[in-house]
Structure 1
Amino acid sequence: MVSLPFKNTASGKKLTASSRNALFQNLVSLVTVLCAEKIDDFSERLAQALLHLSEQSVKPTEAELSFNGFNYLRKNFSAFQKNFVQELDELLAREIRLIEQNKIGMQQHDNSDLSLVTFEEMENKVLLGNVAQSLELALGDTLSALNLRIGWILGREETTTAENPFRPQVFVEAIYQAWRKIDPAPESHRVMLHQLGPELFLPLNAIFGQLNEALVERSILPDLTEAYRKKKAENKVGLPPPKVEKRDQSKYNKVRDWLLSAGKKKSGGDAAADDLNVPDLFSLTEGGGNWNANTISVKVGPRMFVYLNNLQSQIDRMEMDGQLDPVPQSAATLRKVKEQAPPGMLTAVDENTIELLANILDFVFQEKSIPSEIKKLMGQLQIPLLKAALLDKKFFVKDDHPARRLVDTLAKCSLALDRQKGYDDPLYKMIEQIVGRVQKEFDQQMSLFDDAVSGIESLLDTGDKQSQDFLATPIAEALRQEKIGKAKEAAENDIAARLETGEVASFVEAFLETQWVRILTLAHSSKDKKPDVLAKALRTMDDLIWSVKPKASPEQRKELISRLPSILAMLNAWLNAIKWHEPERVTFFSTLAERHAAIVRMQPEASSRHQVEIAVNIAEKASSRRMRRQAAESRGKIQDEFLQMVNGLDEGSWLEFSRNNGGVARLKLAWISPQRTRFIFTNRQGEEPSLFTVEELAKSLRDRSASLVQVDSIVERALNVVLDPEQ
């Protein structure tokens, strides 16, 4: 809510009831006109969103509902738009009546009839409110300014969006009611509502801007801009800090509860943070930890780090002497710190920090997808990671924490390692040097972890750039295949459109679908350079279809006789171009000659009954063709989970492929064709590229000869397991 001391420069008098009503009626007319101009573009955006959802959704029911919704909207564009304008006009008229009765905004809070409302309707009401709220947030100052001007019209100095008859919720309600009239399925209403948002919705910012301009032209708060800016600047003083997002807040609370749990147990249940000297677990100065920052070990931090440095030196000597397992199976080193640290050196929160980090590393060391070489490097980082976590508890709640990013980056590096070379892989040796620097040098500066991550990512980027040389040839071949595939699809559509009339002779249908489709494919693939070739191929096909249609009059038969030599010459020329010399060619032309001869011969006029039978047969054939095509298109829209998985892949994704010898190859998705019909996978060096079509890749996933390698944050997965072990 915004409250400003404003003054109408036109007049200090309040509007009369009749003047106010007339003004609102004019605004309603303006809004209706503006929305009528924008509804067409909105309808198109909504249709595309529903179609995209039907192609991308992993839920079969949602995919079907969204595809059906797309069809309803496509077939009822005009009705939907007309319904919306009518609904908006009626809803705004209702709002004006409520103003006259001094009941504006009250309908939002009237829950007296909830017992008569179904659960689905209640759910839709919640969705409507959510959509309206997102639109309100996106509108910002434009809506606030309109609220103030509406408030002046109503004679109020304090106004809210709920008191504005033109609030976003009215527009959302109009869209919803208009949709219900064209789509009878209640389940799809929620699917449609979920698509609505600031980017897809009507351009309310522009519409509200024009409403503001219309009111300024009537001298209603013309100087509002400066007053509003001043008030907004004043309101910034003393504002509370921004709220933590719900997702982050939940994680924050769980980590906080974990770190404080031991203190609660020792004190009998309600030990406060003050007893542990913990004013804020997650506060930290910029740039890294230091002993003047608000950290847990502020009193004993320097002593603790000296102890950890000495322990690290001892571990290094034991590793050199071969006294330690090079590949850790658990975070035993961290637990030894908690058990063996001198008395008074660790607070209860410090001990819980160690245990939480140890649990995370236990999960990491047990992860089967991470090779032993990488686990060895992670094991070397136990002490540096502990220092980082003791200094900064945001390690557990911030995805982009430098130390946490290093663990995640190392886990992802395991995808690029050559497992056959193992410790001798040059990439491993370079990463080992980077990790060794962190192990020896880290004290309090988190930037060292950032440097390590940058160094490892630079190594991987270098490999990606080198692989481009190997990919040039397979990419060119994939682009050629994709171009031919798209050309064939266009050729099939050209033929299908002609066959759907039901008037094409059966033997010509077979010829077009088996041979002429090859000619049209070539013509479509070369149309950018030779557009006339496609036009000539289509014209020859149409001439052939025309030539086998019945000719009722002598003039039509005469025309056929005159045109037939050139038609046959063009047919033979095109067939020679694709080198179709099989015996079937002779059979086709023989059948074609018989049909032409029968057409040219004088035919007795068919009876009315026979003509009706012919017309019915043609209509049935056309209907059957259209139904088969629509069924095929529908099947193509509803994808199984494996096609959806392929459509969700991005460059950089990793898959494991089973080999015939029983082995497994881990390959990276290095390139995706522009139309996403071809995918090229390579090893880290870009060698041995493998090309897959979208269908081939989906089949590999379906029959489990390929599987997607999980590359999300290993630390996040570990935290989820540790903090919510029952999930």
Structure 2
Amino acid sequence: MDNIPLSSSVKKGEASNSSRLLILQALVPIATHLVSSQLEAFSARLTDALFKLSDQTIRPEEASASFQAFQLLKRNNTAFYRLVVGQINAALTKEVSTINAKKKPVKKDAEDFSLVSFDEMESKLLIRNLSQALEVNNADILVALNIRIGNVLRRTPINISQNPFRPDVFVHAVYQAWKEFDATPESHHLVLRLLQPNIFLQLKPILNEINEGLIARGIMPDISDVYRSKGKNSDANSQDEIDDRDPYLHNKLRSIFSGQPISGSGKRTAGSLAWSGTGGGFSGAGNGVGHGGGNAAQANADTVTIDRQFFNYLTSIQKTGPLSEQGMDHDASVQPGVRGESPLRQLSRQAPADSLTDVDQSTIELLARIFDFVFNDPTIPEDIKGLIGQLQIPTLKVALLDKDFFFKETHPARVLIDTLAKSGALLDADATSEDPLYHMIEGVVERVQTEFDEQIDLFSDVVADLEAFLQEEEDKTEEAITLPVETALKQEKMRLAREFAEHDVAIRVETGEVAGFLETFLLEQWIRILTIAHSVKDKKPHALENALKTMDDLIWSLKSKNSAEERKELVSKLPSMLSLLNAWLNAIKWDEPDRVFFFSKLAERHAAIARAPLELSPRRQVEIAVNIAQRASERRLNRHVQNQIDKHPDEWSQQVEVLNRGVWLNFVQANDAQARYKLAWVSPKRTRYIFTNRQGHDAFSISGEELIAKFRSGSVTQIVSDSVVDRALIDALKDPSE
């Protein structure tokens, strides 16, 4: 057999000619600006967490500290914003200015806590745990950023501890900002415990933008070659290999490509992958040494042993046109396994005598099974299946040249099939031939079929073209949803303001000291006023303070006054309090007859308080105290029951909670027709979801409760986005008994 060499080239990134320090300094304002854009959502998450802790903890001192911190942050969030931005800007500037010091990586497990207090040790541990969790959540982005910053500094990729934009810097800065914001020591550790990755600043968009900033300055625009080179030098460490995901399937693949039988039978069985290992097996596959087993260890890592006559035979078929045009079963080229014999199996049977080894036969059979699975996937339109079917010969040539196709998810040919399948699933079934995406897919397939010979990089090129096309559509979607996003943010802001208003009223009603008619007034009318005050607190903070004070004065005015001084104070406060009360009610346009009745009732109660005897009998005092305690107990119990209900979300609410931007859902229309929409945006508090079609048209907003209800009723389902080749491979390798 002739040796067919596999050529590969590694592109070298070129560092910018600008000053290294200036390049990194220019990234600090980018990071600071993105932090600033997140502060409202971050503050809302932290405020919510503080309130929940104050409501749920059984430790009185913790409840008091968390509630005080909640009130402080809720009323002074603008000051908190300024402190966070200032601390992060200062920390990043300092890190960038000292980066050339080439700090040595710190071994975190070796930190010495012997000379610090318990509180300091706890703080360090909490900061370290949060930093490590954020590093894990953003590992891929940080690796790319380490490589690019290393390129700027003309070093090898730097360690995470040397990265000036590492999560640890952001965590320390936010913690320092909080310590300045709230001098109460009790709140410091409390806030650190609450700062989990889901509450903390979302670092992914910040780190992504920093990476993009480096790319814009010419710092390694294409980092994929670095990853490929790195993988070639240390293949055993690749996180992409199937061995890392499923060792059992990996071993089955090794058995197939070593020429050894998978089952106990030593005979070749029709329709199975159990081939006899009688020599002449696969010698080596690209950079996949170690996968093949058998003679693989003796093979040159950059060559494969394959029959040149058979390879040329495949090329001649490929150049002639799709398999369906060459006398093979037409239906089989579109849906192999459904009707007729698979074209790949026909090729195996019709190949020149002695041109295929047992490993080659196994490769063809395994690939045929993968295409069987792809063509039977109901989410892929039939037209797209037909186009994917035209890639069978080029993909077979790739699989014969490079067995990494089966082992690595990021193999270019495998990525192409996955991308085509996912893209095809986005097409409307009734208009595929007129869709620009369909024509793009058609052109990609045609290019592979006409140009591919032995250069596997061609698959990377066409995938890049297709992804660029999809990104253009994504960018158009972002522009199209600008107005819906603004509307949704306003809706969420009002909803959050309403929640804060309800809490403000609830904590006062739960004392049991609020008169019945006043409780109804607060719940029905004053919550509306507080909602408005909370929604404008950033621009008019005094409005919220005024509304809260008016409510507290109103509640106080209806409590018993058992001294002449208290009654004198009531008389002096009533005119201004009533004036403010009327002004607020005018603002919400409450002009119903109930308003007249409320003020009449209020005047009667104030008169009764003024006429009541100054001294109450012990029995009357006990009766009042018991009534107050009973009302307070009933309200706390009701709230506890409601909280328990809220704490147990069902499977549909959990499914909606984890939906991320970019996922696709099937919406069942009134006439039972299905329409596919992409989740284009999720509000910071996940109360509003905006969906669009692929081009960004027909955008609509839906609340979280509505979306959960649609999932529960079955009128909305999520479209599977997992790798179709990955699922096909698992299905192809499963045992008959499974």
Say whether the fold is shared (TM-score over 0.5): yes
Of 614, 627, 639, 1:629 maps to 639
- In structure 2, distance between residues paired with 1:275 and 1:350: 12
Aligned to 1:305: 311
Of 448, 454, 467, 1:444 maps to 454
Of 640, 644, 649, 2:650 maps to 640
**1:256 aligned onto 2:260:** no
Amino acid at match of 1:275: G
- Unmatched runs of 5 consecutive residues or more in structure 2: 1-41, 64-103, 123-128, 136-160, 162-233, 290-298
Aligned to 1:675: 685
Q: Which moved more, 1:433-442 or 1:624-633?
A: 624-633
Cα distance 1:587–1:468, how it changes in 2: closer, same or farther (>3 A)?
same
CA deviation map 1:496-538 (0-9, x unaligned): 1111111000111111011000000000000100111111111
Amino acid at match of 2:599: F
**1:599 aligned onto 2:599:** no
Cα distance 1:257–1:284, how it changes in 2: closer, same or farther (>3 A)?
closer
**1:335 aligned onto 2:339:** no
Aligned to 1:465: 475
Shift of 1:402: 0.6
Structure-to-structure mapping, 1:69-88, within 5 angstroms:
none
Contact 2:383–2:432 (CA under 8 A) maintained in structure 1 = yes
- In structure 2, distance between residues paired with 1:257 and 1:395: 16
Of 419, 433, 439, 1:429 maps to 439
Contact 2:334–2:389 (CA under 8 A) maintained in structure 1 = yes
TM-score normalised by the chain length of structure 1: 0.65
- In structure 1, distance between residues paired with 2:110 and 2:500: 52
Aligned to 1:324: 330
Shift of 1:146: 9.6
Contact 1:330–1:365 (CA under 8 A) maintained in structure 2 = yes
RMSD: 3.9
Q: Which moved more, 1:325-334 or 1:580-589?
A: 325-334
Contact 2:561–2:614 (CA under 8 A) maintained in structure 1 = no
CA deviation map 1:583-621 (0-9, x unaligned): 211121121111111111133733212211211221121
- In structure 1, distance between residues paired with 2:132 and 2:276: 44
Shift of 1:246: 4.7
**1:573 aligned onto 2:573:** no
Contact 1:490–1:521 (CA under 8 A) maintained in structure 2 = yes
- In structure 2, distance between residues paired with 1:427 and 1:250: 38
Aligned to 2:386: 376
Cα distance 1:317–1:395, how it changes in 2: closer, same or farther (>3 A)?
closer
Aligned to 1:276: 280
Aligned to 2:593: 583
Contact 1:676–1:694 (CA under 8 A) maintained in structure 2 = yes
- In structure 1, distance between residues paired with 2:284 and 2:345: 25
- In structure 1, distance between residues paired with 2:279 and 2:130: 50
Cα distance 1:386–1:295, how it changes in 2: closer, same or farther (>3 A)?
farther
Structure-to-structure mapping, 1:137-216, within 5 angstroms:
142=107, 199=133
Cα distance 1:389–1:635, how it changes in 2: closer, same or farther (>3 A)?
same
Cα distance 1:634–1:613, how it changes in 2: closer, same or farther (>3 A)?
same
- In structure 2, distance between residues paired with 1:615 and 1:581: 36
Structure-to-structure mapping, 1:379-418, within 5 angstroms:
379-418=389-428
- In structure 1, distance between residues paired with 2:430 and 2:696: 16
Cα distance 1:273–1:281, how it changes in 2: closer, same or farther (>3 A)?
farther
Count of matched residue positions in the alignment of Structure 1 and Structure 2:
521
- In structure 2, distance between residues paired with 1:141 and 1:364: 48
Shift of 1:316: 3.4
Cα distance 1:299–1:708, how it changes in 2: closer, same or farther (>3 A)?
closer
Shift of 1:366: 0.6
Shift of 1:416: 2.5
- In structure 2, distance between residues paired with 1:547 and 1:280: 89
- In structure 2, distance between residues paired with 1:605 and 1:554: 11
CA deviation map 1:48-97 (0-9, x unaligned): 9xx99xx9xxxxxxxxxxx99x967977979xxxxxxxxxxxxxxxxxxx
Structure-to-structure mapping, 1:46-57, within 5 angstroms:
none
- In structure 1, distance between residues paired with 2:109 and 2:540: 58
Contact 2:260–2:275 (CA under 8 A) maintained in structure 1 = no
Of 489, 496, 506, 1:486 maps to 496
Aligned to 2:512: 502
Q: Which moved more, 1:526-535 or 1:460-469?
A: 460-469
CA deviation map 1:689-708 (0-9, x unaligned): 11011111111111111011
CA deviation map 1:108-160 (0-9, x unaligned): xxxxxxxxxxxxxxxxxxxxxxxxxxxxxxx998489899xxxxxxxxxxxxx
Contact 2:533–2:543 (CA under 8 A) maintained in structure 1 = yes
- Unmatched runs of 5 consecutive residues or more in structure 1: 1-47, 56-66, 79-138, 148-164, 176-194, 206-238, 286-291
TM-score normalised by the chain length of structure 2: 0.64
**1:364 aligned onto 2:382:** no
Partner secondary structure for residue 428 of structure 2: coil
Contact 2:284–2:305 (CA under 8 A) maintained in structure 1 = no
- In structure 1, distance between residues paired with 2:652 and 2:453: 48
CA deviation map 1:144-190 (0-9, x unaligned): 9899xxxxxxxxxxxxxxxxx99xxxx9xx99xxxxxxxxxxxxxxx
Cα distance 1:305–1:485, how it changes in 2: closer, same or farther (>3 A)?
same
- In structure 2, distance between residues paired with 1:275 and 1:414: 42
Highest CA radius of gyration, 1 or 2? 1
Of 363, 366, 388, 1:353 maps to 363
Contact 2:680–2:690 (CA under 8 A) maintained in structure 1 = yes
Amino acid at match of 1:305: F
- In structure 1, distance between residues paired with 2:349 and 2:444: 30
Shift of 1:633: 2.9
Amino acid at match of 1:419: A
**1:513 aligned onto 2:529:** no
Contact 1:654–1:669 (CA under 8 A) maintained in structure 2 = yes
Contact 1:402–1:449 (CA under 8 A) maintained in structure 2 = yes
- In structure 1, distance between residues paired with 2:594 and 2:523: 14
- In structure 2, distance between residues paired with 1:436 and 1:268: 36
Cα distance 1:327–1:505, how it changes in 2: closer, same or farther (>3 A)?
farther
Contact 2:306–2:400 (CA under 8 A) maintained in structure 1 = no
- In structure 1, distance between residues paired with 2:616 and 2:250: 85
Partner secondary structure for residue 276 of structure 1: coil
- In structure 2, distance between residues paired with 1:709 and 1:402: 24
Cα distance 1:76–1:558, how it changes in 2: closer, same or farther (>3 A)?
closer
- In structure 2, distance between residues paired with 1:660 and 1:271: 53
